């Protein structure tokens, strides 16, 4: 293993976060705080408890997931897209680093940033509402697994995108709607039966449900199923990344 | 070629792009350790494609490449760690500092941090004072230096310079060639492409000429210039000639750019250059001259002539 290579990519990406601290950390924290103010305080005061949890507390796992998904994708996709855009990808391709090492470097850094952000949002949420974590180990597992999986997805997106529009379109038009409709702000049991069935086709439902279970012990779908779906998506991403490097898709001519 | 393993061995290398364009056609080449090899060719000839395949940026359609005996596909870690590449385009990490980007390159190539080596590299390229500057604040020439520093950060044994002096000032060009000479002194092999053929003439041990994806000639520079170069004798006549006399038709004579100049082209390697005979004929014809000069074709003239012939 080229550990120095992995470290170089990882540190390079983390340094970018430090340079763009406002964009990387402060902006997501600010938008999350606004969610708490609008949904938690203004609207939440008119909504009764859900599964014995106050509405403000109920939306905390969903809000963390919302930021985790979007930030994992945008960090990882930007990380690999920018060298393609600027042309500096030549150095990565000509370096003695394997697929695994490149992915560990980029995805590791993107996932690290997302996990840090998730922790910050959790701390921020504590300022607004009471947050319980019944299963902290599972909470960390879901957090890490989701960050890694969606960072891998973001990496794929960054390789696939050949312009800035494509880079932005998936997080904006696919991920954000799926997250909003995946039970971030409600329990899917609150939906009419037909929509409950439709919602089960949304993969984000399983992530949010499992993550929320680790907080309050309540889940829309079985925890085992949540975990299985997350691993299944992770596996799909791994296979796609392996194929990208094997064929050189959009990287090597 | 000696008995030792060549630092670069390319065998029947082919590259066909998805659109059907054949960028390389059965290119074969061997380069020995410590050589300075210049690859010349017109735009689109296949120079950069060849470099990109050796460095791992592009995949070959067919053929094999070995660096110091290691296959570039199956033993890519070994080959790539031996190679440094200065690309043609000015592609830099705009928002990074000079030091950070050079340190990144060293790490990426698997080398542990070595501030002393980086300092030496930056100083040799007159970048030391700029080490904390972000790259976006540097001039084009300085960015080119940064690219060279990045390529040298991991102490490569083979350095590819893909038109490194395109658009840079004379000072940088001189600095760069000084660095190349220093590298060569430490046994580093340098493979360069350049549009400034006089640079190849000045620096290279051997020359390869590539055109339409085919390596049409690979030869030692001195031999190439000897064999393909024309030698000319210029005679400065006392009185201009109206026409070249018929009895001098056996000699390859032509009028020079000035009315009083007569140019004789000859093969300096031939048993008889014909100079003595020409001078005797001129004397007997009563044609007098006040001065003589000999010239030899430049590499550029040879290159242009070769490429024209192939076309």
Q: Return the pLDDT at B228.
A: 66
Q: Which of A16, A91, A253 sits opposite B105 (nearest CB)?
A: A91
Q: Return the pLDDT at B1.
A: 46
- Domain count of the fold of chain A: 1
- Above 60 in pLDDT, residue B2? no
Q: What is the 3-state secondary structure (H, E, C) of A151-192?
A: HHHHHHHHHHCCCHHHHHHHHHHHHHHHHHCCCCCCCHHHCC
Backbone angles phi, psi at A145, to 5 degrees: -60, -45
User: What's the pLDDT tens digit per position in B188-236?
Assistant: 999 998 767 777 778 888 989 888 899 988 888 777 776 666 778 899 9
Q: B86 to chain A nearest CA, in Å?
A: 9
Q: A152 to chain B nearest CA, in Å?
A: 20
User: What's the pLDDT tens digit per position in B90-127?
Assistant: 888 888 899 999 999 999 999 999 999 999 999 988 88
Helices and strands (DSSP H and E) totals, chain B: 10, 14
- Strands B253-255 and B261-266, by their bridges, are antiparallel
Q: Which residues of B touch A98 (CB under 8 A)?
A: 77
User: What's the pLDDT tens digit per position in A93-136?
Assistant: 999 998 889 989 999 999 999 999 899 888 888 888 888 889 99
Q: B3 to chain A nearest CA, in Å?
A: 28
Q: Which residues of B touch A86 (CB under 8 A)?
A: 91-94
Q: Return the pLDDT at B122.
A: 92
Whether residue B189 is found in the same domain as residue B233: no
A149 occurs within a structural domain? yes
Residue B108 touches chain A, beta carbons under 8 Å = yes
Whether residue B128 is found in the same domain as residue B217: yes
User: B interface mutation test: which of A11, A85, A94, A250 has the most B CBs within 10 A?
Assistant: A94
Whether residue B256 is found in the same domain as residue B202: no
User: What's the pLDDT tens digit per position in A21-65?
Assistant: 777 778 778 888 888 788 777 776 777 777 778 888 888 888 898
B288 occurs within a structural domain? yes
**CATH code, domain carrying B233:** 3.30.70
A11 occurs within a structural domain? yes
CA B29 to chain centre: 15
Q: B111 to chain A nearest CA, in Å?
A: 6
CA A5 vs CA A91, A211, B116, B271: distances in Å: 12, 33, 19, 61
- Domain count of the fold of chain B: 2
Would the CB atoms of A97 and B100 count as touching at under 8 Å?
A: no
User: What's the pLDDT tens digit per position in B167-197?
Assistant: 677 777 887 888 888 888 888 999 998 767 7
Tokens describing residue B255: 């009028």
Q: A21 to chain B nearest CA, in Å?
A: 14
Q: Exposure of A199 by Cβ count < 10 A (0-12 exposed, 13-18 middle, 19+ buried)?
A: middle
Q: Return the pLDDT at B227.
A: 67
Q: Which residues of A touch B94 (CB under 8 A)?
A: 86
- Strands B189-193 and B158-162, by their bridges, are parallel
Give the residue from B221, B253, B277 where a domain finishes: B221
Whether residue B197 is found in the same domain as residue B49: yes
B99 occurs within a structural domain? yes
Whether residue B67 is found in the same domain as residue B37: yes
B195 occurs within a structural domain? yes
Residue B143 touches chain A, beta carbons under 8 Å = no
Q: Which residues of A touch B78 (CB under 8 A)?
A: 96
Whether residue B192 is found in the same domain as residue B88: yes
User: What's the pLDDT tens digit per position in B243-287?
Assistant: 888 888 888 888 888 888 998 888 776 778 888 889 988 888 888
- Above 80 in pLDDT, residue B310? no
Tokens describing residue B204: 């290279």
- Above 90 in pLDDT, residue B30? yes
B2 occurs within a structural domain? no
pTM of this structure: 0.79
A253 occurs within a structural domain? no
Residue B74 touches chain A, beta carbons under 8 Å = no
Whether residue B194 is found in the same domain as residue B141: yes
Give the residue from B156, B188, B221 where a domain finishes: B221
Residue window 112-131, chain B: list those with CB within 8 Å of chain A.
Answer: 112
Residue B57 touches chain A, beta carbons under 8 Å = yes
Q: Which is more confidently placed, A146 or B272? A: A146
A252 occurs within a structural domain? no
A74 occurs within a structural domain? yes
In what helix (H) or strand (E) does residue B63 lie, and over which residues does it extend?
strand B62-67
Q: Which residues of B touch A11 (CB under 8 A)?
A: 104, 107
Would the CB atoms of B150 and A4 count as touching at under 8 Å?
A: no
Its domain, for residue B21, covers 8-221
A147 occurs within a structural domain? yes
| Torsion angle of the four alpha carbons B37, B40, B45, B48, in this order, in degrees rounded to the nearest 10 | 40
A189 occurs within a structural domain? yes
Q: How many interchain CB pairs under 8 A, A with B?
A: 82
Would the CB atoms of B57 and A93 count as touching at under 8 Å?
A: yes
Q: Which is more confidently placed, B2 or A212? A: A212
Its domain, for residue A170, covers 3-247
Q: B55 to chain A nearest CA, in Å?
A: 5
């Amino acid at each position: 293993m080229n550990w120095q290579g992995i470290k170089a990519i990882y540190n390079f990406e983390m340094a970018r976060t430090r340079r763009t601290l406002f964009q990387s950390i402060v902006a997501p924290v600010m938008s999350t705080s606004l969610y708490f103010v609008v949904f938690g305080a203004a609207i939440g005061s008119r909504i009764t408890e859900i599964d014995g949890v106050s509405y403000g507390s109920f939306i905390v796992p969903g809000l963390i997931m919302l930021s985790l998904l979007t930030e994992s994708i945008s960090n990882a996709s930007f990380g690999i897209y920018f060298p393609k855009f600027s042309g500096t990808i030549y150095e990565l391709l000509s370096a003695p680093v394997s697929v695994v090492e490149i992915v560990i470097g980029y995805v590791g850094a993107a996932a690290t940033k997302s996990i840090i952000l998730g922790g910050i949002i959790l701390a921020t949420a504590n300022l607004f509402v009471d947050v319980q974590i019944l299963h902290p180990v599972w909470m960390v597992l879901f957090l890490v697994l989701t960050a890694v999986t969606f960072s891998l997805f973001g990496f794929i997106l960054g390789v696939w995108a050949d312009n800035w529009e494509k880079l932005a379109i998936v997080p904006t038009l696919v991920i954000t709607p799926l997250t909003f409709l995946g039970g971030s702000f409600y329990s899917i049991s609150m939906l009419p039966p037909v929509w409950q069935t439709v919602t089960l086709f949304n993969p984000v439902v399983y992530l949010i449900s499992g993550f929320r279970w680790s907080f309050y012990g309540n889940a829309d779908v079985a925890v085992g199923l949540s975990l299985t779906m997350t691993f299944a998506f992770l596996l799909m991403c791994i296979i796609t990344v392996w194929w990208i490097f094997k064929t050189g898709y959009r990287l090597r001519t | 070629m000696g008995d030792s393993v060549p630092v670069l061995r390319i065998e029947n290398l082919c590259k066909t792009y998805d659109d059907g364009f054949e960028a390389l056609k059965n290119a074969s080449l061997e380069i020995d350790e410590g050589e300075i090899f210049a690859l010349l060719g017109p735009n689109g000839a296949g120079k950069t494609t060849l470099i990109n395949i050796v460095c791992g940026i592009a995949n070959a359609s067919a053929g094999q490449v070995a660096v110091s005996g290691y296959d570039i596909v199956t033993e890519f870690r070994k080959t790539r760690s031996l190679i440094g590449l200065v690309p043609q385009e000015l592609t830099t990490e705009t928002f990074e500092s000079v030091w950070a980007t050079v340190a990144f390159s060293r790490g990426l190539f698997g080398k542990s941090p070595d501030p002393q080596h980086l300092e030496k590299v930056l100083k040799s390229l007159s970048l030391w004072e700029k080490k904390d500057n972000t790259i976006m604040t540097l001039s084009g020439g300085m960015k080119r230096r940064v690219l060279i520093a990045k390529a040298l950060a991991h102490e490569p044994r083979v350095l590819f310079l893909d038109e490194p002096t395109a658009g840079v000032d004379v000072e940088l060009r001189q600095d760069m060639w000084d660095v190349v000479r220093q590298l060569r002194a430490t046994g580093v092999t340098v493979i360069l492409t350049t549009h400034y053929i006089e640079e190849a003439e000045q620096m290279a041990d051997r020359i390869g000429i590539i055109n339409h994806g085919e390596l049409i000639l690979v030869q030692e520079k001195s031999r190439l210039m000897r064999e393909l170069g024309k030698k000319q004798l210029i005679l400065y006549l006392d009185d201009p000639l109206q026409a070249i006399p018929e009895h001098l038709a056996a000699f390859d004579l032509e009028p020079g750019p000035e009315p009083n100049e007569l140019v004789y082209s000859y093969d300096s390697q031939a048993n008889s250059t014909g100079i003595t005979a020409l001078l005797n004929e001129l004397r007997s014809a009563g044609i007098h001259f006040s001065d003589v000069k000999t010239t030899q074709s430049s590499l550029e003239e040879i290159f242009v002539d070769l490429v024209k012939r192939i076309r």
